[in-house]
Amino acid sequence: MRSQHYTIVAIPIPINLPPQVVVAFIQTYVPTLRLNDHVAGFEEIPADPSCIANDPFFGPWDDTVRSFQVHEITRLLPGVSRETRWPVVFQSFPDGISSRANANAGILVWARWTVRRRDVASPASPASPETATSSPATEVGEEWELYEEVLTDANTMLMRFTARSVDRIHNQITQRLVDEVCKSYFDGTLYQ
| pLDDT in the model for residue 135 | 40
Number of C-beta neighbours around residue 31 at 10 A: 17
Output the CA–CA distances (angstroms, integers) from residue 64 to 40, 74, 89, 90, 160, in the order listed.
Answer: 24, 29, 10, 8, 34
Global confidence as pTM: 0.85
In terms of pLDDT, which residue wins out, 135 or 88?
Answer: 88
Q: Please tell me the predicted confidence (pLDDT) of residue 150.
A: 98
Give the pLDDT confidence score for residue 74 in this predicted structure. Answer: 78
Spans of all domains in the chain = 2-122+142-186
CATH of 2-122+142-186, one of 3.30.530.20, 3.90.226.10, 3.30.830.10, 3.90.110.10: 3.30.530.20
